[in-house]
Amino acid sequence: MKHQGGCHCGRIAFELDADVTEAIECNCSMCRRRGSLLAFFPREALTLKTPDSDYATYRFNKALIGHHFCPDCGISPFMDGIHPRTGAPLAAVNVRCLPDVDLSQLKVTQVDGASF
C-alpha cells in the first residue's frame, strides 16, 4: 500500500510503499521527547518527493541514524540508517506523519532504547 507522508508545513514530503501494521514506541532521549511512533522499512520503500536540501539532519550518540527534520516546522517525519545485523539501508518512518494510517489499529511495541 502506498502512503503519502511528510512534515506539518509540507516542506518535507515522501511516499512510503509498504504496509504499516506495527510500530515501536522507544524511550530513548530523542524519541521520548519527540513522541514518535516508528516503523522500520527497507530504505527503497521510501521515496522523497522533495529535495534532500529541504530537511536538516541531527545525529547523536553513535551517529548511526540520521534523524531528519523540517527546519521550518520542526517535525521529524523519517530517519535513515543501516540495519545493524544485515548492513542493508533502512528507513524509520514516524507513522504519526502518515495521515491515512489509523494509529489505533497498529500493534505498538515498547522498546527500552534508554538502556542502549
- Helix and strand element counts for the chain (H, E): 1, 10
What are the CA-CA distances from residue 42 to residues 9, 32, 36, 83, 100 (Å)? 26, 24, 19, 9, 20
Confidence label for 51 from pLDDT (cuts 50, 70 and 90)? very high
Q: What's residue 113's pLDDT? A: 86
Q: What is the CATH number of domain 2-115?
A: 2.170.150.70
Q: How far is 5 from 63, CA to CA, in rounded Å?
A: 25
Q: What's residue 28's pLDDT? A: 86
Tens-digit pLDDT profile for residues 18-28: 999 999 999 98
Return the domain boundaries, the chain.
2-115
Tens-digit pLDDT profile for residues 55-108: 999 988 776 789 999 999 999 999 999 988 899 999 999 999 999 999 999 999
Q: What is the mean predicted confidence (pLDDT) over 17-39?
A: 93
**43 within 8 A of 80, measured Cβ to Cβ:** yes
Confidence label for 30 from pLDDT (cuts 50, 70 and 90)? confident
pLDDT at 114 over 70: yes
Lookup: cell for 104? 489505533
Q: What is the mean predicted confidence (pLDDT) over 24-49?
A: 93
